[in-house]
Structure 1
């Protein structure tokens, strides 16, 4: 396996993915999700999403048992308006059929809330990742052209917007580079260590030109506080078969057990694609003083602009699922 040398001025130096999973805590809950975003017909074809999620109840002796297991399968016409064409879940949620024919990105989460607000938490988290999973799948399209020289690859149609997040700051390295080159560069991340779920299981090899989003959320009570340790990792399957990390963040949250009000919230970046992305890290601290039940609303309503990150925002919101 090989790792390509990045341009530090453009890609920065945050390139140290975690090499293991932390041990589980006694009397805790660990949620694991894995969403594969495949392109079985090549980068010009449909996007196929395959997701699994588990809630593990951890007893006082650190012994895990599966409390809930769910699955999601969906297809998206990526080059035809990012339109959701099929969706199936286990357990079955018939109301989700109403999502078919609509965007898998714009307004997707609101439509899920409208038709199926009662879905279980692990399935809700998988559904919540559909918009961003669809969006990041564009990395495979761009990489096929930029990294692998596939001049016949169809473009993503995505037009970067300045100041939408820290990495896309109008005066930052990425937007400046786009202005000079006339197209967006592609981040080639570090090789992904084979991290398992702490129970000896790992997902299989990532298909070429596929993306994968993995999450881990640990929650437990200690010394009168709710403690949450969470992370996510986005990876890409290069044409040479190497799985590389595009985004990876960790998050530590401490909240009062009685009120749920957050006392501490610290984000730790492991892998970020652009040199300006670390400008969003401190935004996690803005959750201090917010009740856990209000995190979703606060992040959706107030976390915008160059001091935030779309991917970090998703991680912050995940503590409420």
Structure 2
């Protein structure tokens, strides 16, 4: 059985640059940088930064509304959170220690940091992204470690059957080996820096990293007119020994929501960089969440896009739109000021 891919449904390549900020908007940016200070296979260190920036209608200088930082140490094999801290400090964040990246950590997070979730803080977005970041971090090995040594290490590891876990790994996918494990011939594309040269405030401060590392980056732009308009992007990229970065995942989402009820009115997923030819098929399913209140997307997306109905990374991009109501509140407060 071979998966049929509609003509023209392909990953189009990375976006050329971050769009300009528009007056009367709030932009949330976040990054998680992943490194192994003591070498591959040792503890994974995560440095997360996230910020909300208001660009006033008046044309006055942009204003930082909120900014959070997170540092964590994660076991590279089990993805167990071994240490974590936040700045500004939140004592409850230590309740995540001992949870495993994935469903375990998100369940603990939802209970331990319920207030952060309710108010849609930048910190909550970073903490929720630990699951995805710890999952994809090892991709950087494929850019930095000798391919023969890497394949030798993979062949010695227990086989993980990936069949059916997402759209890209549906039965018959060219991304699968005969034993159900995934192929390592990821399609990657070089990417340009996230900040615009003509807009130094467009992103929060980004660390210049040249050693082996991965970065998960998000941008969410929100403004209000007749509808709530949303433009967001998501990117996973690795440094490479020759310099610069290559992306293995990149999506752009555009959406609108009802300004009164917060229900999702339209949504479009634009696949930009994905590892396998079958991956963009997930973008055809996003309409299943139309009518969902933005605030409920973290749970509803997981319910509606399980298994081959969804893509792990597209799901995370849609779930992150649960932060939009907090950004809308900030815009309305500015309008009333």
| TM-score normalised by structure 2 residue count | 0.83
Q: 1:51 — aligned with what? A: 48
Aligned-partner Cα distance in 1 for 2:124–2:211: 28
Q: 1:285 — aligned with what? A: 287
Shift of 1:14: 2.0
Deviates more, 1:210-219 or 1:298-307: 298-307
Q: 2:111 — aligned with what? A: 114
The runs of 5 or more residues in structure 1 that have no matched partner are 1-11
1:82 to 79, 82, 86: 79
The structure richer in helix per residue is: 2
The runs of 5 or more residues in structure 2 that have no matched partner are 1-8, 324-337
Shift of 1:15: 5.0
Q: 1:259 — aligned with what? A: 261
**For residues 127 and 156 of structure 1, do their structure 2 counterparts lie closer, same or farther at Cα, with a shift above 3 Å needed?**
farther
1:317 to 319, 323, 329: 319
- Encode CA deviations 1:19-45: one digit per residue, 9 max, x unaligned: 111111221110010110111122121
Shift of 1:84: 0.9
Q: 1:196 — aligned with what? A: 195
Count of aligned positions:
306
Shift of 1:157: 5.6
Aligned-partner Cα distance in 2 for 1:289–1:114: 26
RMSD: 2.4
Shift of 1:267: 0.6
Q: Secondary structure at the match of 1:174?
A: coil
Q: Residues 47-196 of structure 1: matches in 2 within 5 Å?
A: 47-62=44-59, 63-79=61-77, 81-119=78-116, 121-145=121-145, 147=147, 149-150=149-150, 159-175=160-176, 178-179=177-178, 184-196=183-195
Aligned-partner Cα distance in 1 for 2:179–2:142: 18
Aligned-partner Cα distance in 1 for 2:307–2:150: 33
**For residues 180 and 114 of structure 1, do their structure 2 counterparts lie closer, same or farther at Cα, with a shift above 3 Å needed?**
closer
| TM-score normalised by structure 1 residue count | 0.87
CA contact (8 A) 2:71 2:86 kept: yes
Shift of 1:152: 7.5
Aligned-partner Cα distance in 2 for 1:228–1:261: 13
Aligned-partner Cα distance in 2 for 1:179–1:207: 36
Deviates more, 1:287-296 or 1:32-41: 287-296
Correspondence 1:218 to 2:221: yes
Q: Secondary structure at the match of 2:46?
A: strand
**For residues 301 and 156 of structure 1, do their structure 2 counterparts lie closer, same or farther at Cα, with a shift above 3 Å needed?**
farther
Shift of 1:13: 5.3
CA contact (8 A) 1:82 1:103 kept: yes
**For residues 186 and 140 of structure 1, do their structure 2 counterparts lie closer, same or farther at Cα, with a shift above 3 Å needed?**
farther
Shift of 1:106: 3.7
